Amino acid sequence: MSDKHSATVLVTGATDGLGRGTAIYLAKRGYRVFAAGRNAQKRASLETEAKKENLALETLEMDVTDDASVDQAVAEIEKRAGPVEILVNNAGIAIVAAMEEISQSDLHKQFETNFFGLVRVTQRVLPAMRESRRGRIINLSSVAGKMASPLFGPYAGSKHAVEGISDAMRVELVPFGVQVILIEPGYIPSNMEASALELSSSYVAKAPASPYAKVYEGFQRSWGRISSDKSYTPEDCARVILRAIQDRRPKVRYPVTKSAYVIRWMERLLSDRTIDRIFIHDYGLQPPGN
């Protein structure tokens, strides 16, 4: 989609982290961007920045977990600028917990935002895309959508689901000229970490008394190493998203960060048991009787 100056872009979860970086990056390159989010204060901050730089960026209130909120926000975009031509499904949360311990309500919260919310917004914009026979849907997945690490079951499960429906939709939408593309970032520092810590606080607090205490300890060591890498910024992800929008024949999947490429090749070349052994060793775990 090279006619960027007429392209209307909707970015969900756009008031923070990768979403904010993407919204600003695309607006600076001539796209008309609608940045959607729930937090009024963060929306106001983003609007102020956009006005200072004279960007074609407008913010909208949108809760991807609420039908009425999504419908109202998309209707407002259509009123101001016409149908959404490029959808960047970025809204997401992360809850870190052992699968036995996570509450059903938290598991529903995880999937309601990362999976059902993505579907909800996509279903709302697709009819107009089909009618116009053009459009791109950019789904933010994760390396966790390819390989799940211990305690990332809830988050990885939601991203595996995103990968699955994206594969199905990509073929379903061929007759209508609508393309579905997956972005698979590795670790990129953002405010999502603080949000994940808050959402996971009850499980982390109980970790020392948990039967999974060793797993939590291993995770904290592993995450300490991962999170010390400050090599990438949200703009690095935004740059890849721009490629996915502008490539004449976009790839099915775009990894972001070196670790994303490494995990992609590990998943292709190593057996499931070998990958398990890597995690078992890294987390310092031992089977019974060893």
Q: What share of the chain is helix, strand, coil (3-state, %, to 5)?
A: 55, 15, 30
When pLDDT is averaged across residues 158-186 and rounded to a whole number, the result is 98
pLDDT at 264: 87
- Token digits of residue 80: 């101001």
Q: Which residues are catalytic?
A: 155
**Residue 290 domain-assigned?**
no
Q: Which domain holds residue 36?
A: 4-282
pLDDT confidence bin for 10, thresholds 50/70/90: very high
> Is 40 within a domain?
yes
Quick one: how far is CA 241 from the chain centroid? 12
pLDDT per residue over 215-269, tens digit each? 999 999 988 888 888 889 999 999 999 999 999 999 999 999 998 999 988 988 9
Residue 70 covered by a domain: yes
Could you tell me if residue 287 is inside a domain? Answer: no
pLDDT digits (tens, 9 = 90+) for 28-67: 999 999 999 999 999 999 999 999 999 999 999 999 999 9
pLDDT at 180 over 90: yes
Tens of pLDDT, residue by residue over 104-138, are: 999 999 999 999 999 999 999 999 999 999 999 99
| Domain CATH for 23 | 3.40.50.720
Rg (the chain; Cα; Å): 19
Average pLDDT over residues 80-100: 97
Q: Tell me: pLDDT of 74 over 70.
A: yes
Alpha-carbon distance of 137 to 156, in angstroms, equals: 21
Distant-in-sequence, close-in-space partners of 46: CB < 8 Å, separation ≥ 6: 14, 15, 20, 23, 24, 35, 37, 57, 59
Domain count, the chain: 1
Torsions phi, psi of 210, nearest 5? -80, 145
Q: Residue 289 falls within a domain, yes or no?
A: no
Give domain status of residue 99, yes or no.
yes
pLDDT of residue 67: 98
Q: What is the pTM of this model?
A: 0.94
Q: What is the DSSP string of 116-180?
A: IHHHHHHHHHHHHHHHHT-EEEEEE--GGGT-PPTT-HHHHHHHHHHHHHHHHHHHHTGGGTEEE
Q: What percent of the chain has pLDDT over 70?
A: 97
